[in-house]
Amino acid sequence: MKINNSFKTIALKSVMATGLMALVSSAQAYEPARTAECIAPANPGGGWDFTCRSVGKALVDLSYIKGNVQTVNMSGAGGGVAFAHTVSKRSKDDGLIVAASTATTTRLAQGQFPGMNSDQVKWVGTLGADYGIIAVATDSKYQNLNQMMDDLRKDPNSVKFAGGSASGGWDHLKVLITAKEANVTKLPKIKYLSFNGGSEALVQVVGGHIDAFTGDISEVKGFLDSGDIRVVAVLSEERLPAPLNNIPTALEQGVSSVAPNWRGFYVPGDAGNDSYDWWVNTIDELYQTQEWKDIMAKNGLMPFHKTGAEFTQFVKNQTLDIRILSQDIGLIK
């Protein structure tokens, strides 16, 4: 009897040890490398660049990544170059994340990434929404949105816009949506010039070469602080928190235009499930930290958070919605 009890005790301990090892193994299934890479699909200074650099710094500061997160700017085709690079050359890279936004789903919806679709990558999550704005140089004749829309109603060619997305992309759509809501006709005649990032477009507006900028609030923060531009409308349901609460919404000026631009990430489609789960959980945790809340407040980001399966379904739904919208205003057939 004593021998049997001893065997039972040994067996029980063996089972417990095996179970504990399995738990430890599962918990340690993926350990991030000391360095990670974040691709910003535009030149420095735009919204994607902001997303990579601000999140990368926070991940290092809070010790999620022990080394550093390198931001690599890869402009071209409204994010298409970075998407193709991820799909074709980095499909199994566990240490790579790519900044994405509503601009990404817009290009996918319009078929602007030839031969590619949203199922070829894994969608990690969002860390807030960056609301659209329309801005002018401080010495512009336009003091408010209605003055600009009045000119467009008289002549759709009268105001030239610049943005960091390709023609037909999300920045372009913001202008068309706003103009449509302001009863402007002949929308395809509105002039829009595309640049490889918001900062390039802003320089053209500040320099007086282009009438107005269409982009997101995070892109213009530095130009606002320096007094080089004036935002005539933010495309949000209500005014942004201080210190940006002096900017009027399009809604309060009688134009029903709301254009949130979520900020988030995808990873390569063949990245390991363990690494994907690590990125999803890390983004979930980062979003709850005071450090990230401070970054959001400083840069005008509003709460907007979806991760994993919920975010993946959201991307599919938004892509379909934007495809229908693009057809309605004549951008695609």
pLDDT at 325: 86
pLDDT at 67: 93
Mean pLDDT of 151-173: 93
pLDDT at 330: 82
Mean pLDDT of 191-217: 94
Query: Does position 52 have pLDDT exceeding 50, yes or no?
Result: yes
Q: pLDDT band at 176, cuts 50/70/90? A: very high
Q: Residues 156, 159, 165, CA angle at the centre, nearest 5°?
A: 100
pLDDT at 300: 85
- Out of 5-19, 193-207, 269-283, which region has the weakest mean confidence (pLDDT)? 5-19
pLDDT at 196: 85
Instruction: Give pLDDT tens digits for 184-198.
Output: 999 989 999 999 888
pLDDT at 16: 45
Q: Across the chain, what does the average pLDDT equal?
A: 90
Query: Does position 10 have pLDDT exceeding 70, yes or no?
Result: no
pLDDT at 29: 64
The strand pair at 35-40 and 68-73 is best described as parallel
Q: pLDDT band at 166, cuts 50/70/90? A: confident
Domains of the chain: 35-129+261-328 (3.40.190.150), 131-260 (3.40.190.10)
pLDDT at 27: 39
CA-wise closest residue to 179 among 209, 204, 212: 212
Q: What percent of the chain has pLDDT over 90?
A: 74
pLDDT at 328: 83
Is-contact 104 165, C-beta < 8 A? no
Instruction: Give pLDDT tens digits for 82-116.
Output: 999 999 999 999 999 999 999 999 999 999 999 99
